[in-house]
Amino acid sequence: MKSPDWYDAWCEEAFAAFDAKQKRMDETYDLGSWLRYDYDTAAGTLTFSDAAGPRVIAEIQVAGSITAEDWLWGWANPQWPEASTDAMRRVRDFGAENGIEELTTELLVSDDLDRLGWMLTVIAARVLDAEGGYCAPSANGAIYFLIRSIKFVS
């Protein structure tokens, strides 16, 4: 896909920064250890709970989703409440302003959709200066969330 010369190096920097943020977030919140998670796209939250109830809450945006065939950007999916994808439009605008086709193309295909989903989530996280990301399996594939902020429930 079409992109400027600087984009590959910019993406490498995005991955390094994202990896560091994810490690810090995992060390602090250990998201994979909770009994369950629940997302509420209308409220823009992702909540991690144990048997006693909610323990960690994150403010989220829907980056996008994968099926068996493709990736669909959150900003292009009318299924999501507008509030859950409004910041993702800045990612699309960044792509349009800089000639980055993968950020402005609604549907993308790949031989490795999970890798593509994470790659695009990482890029969106850099554009929006997000704290990290989370991938939630769905009935037809997976949903990729940007974590804008995260904290323990008091």
Instruction: Render pLDDT for 67-115 as a digit per residue (tens, 0 to 9).
Output: 999 999 999 999 999 999 999 999 999 999 999 999 999 999 999 999 9
* Residue 114 tokens, joined: 């999970």
- Residue 57 and residue 154: Cα distance in Å, rounded? 10
Instruction: Render pLDDT for 5-58 as a digit per residue (tens, 0 to 9).
Output: 999 999 999 999 999 999 999 999 999 999 999 999 999 999 999 999 999 999
Q: Where are the alpha helices (DSSP H) in the chain?
A: 7-29, 88-98, 113-128
- Residue 117 and residue 16: Cα distance in Å, rounded? 17
| Boundaries of every domain in the chain | 7-152
Please check whether residue 101 is in contact with residue 3, taking contact to mean a CB–CB distance below 8 angstroms: yes
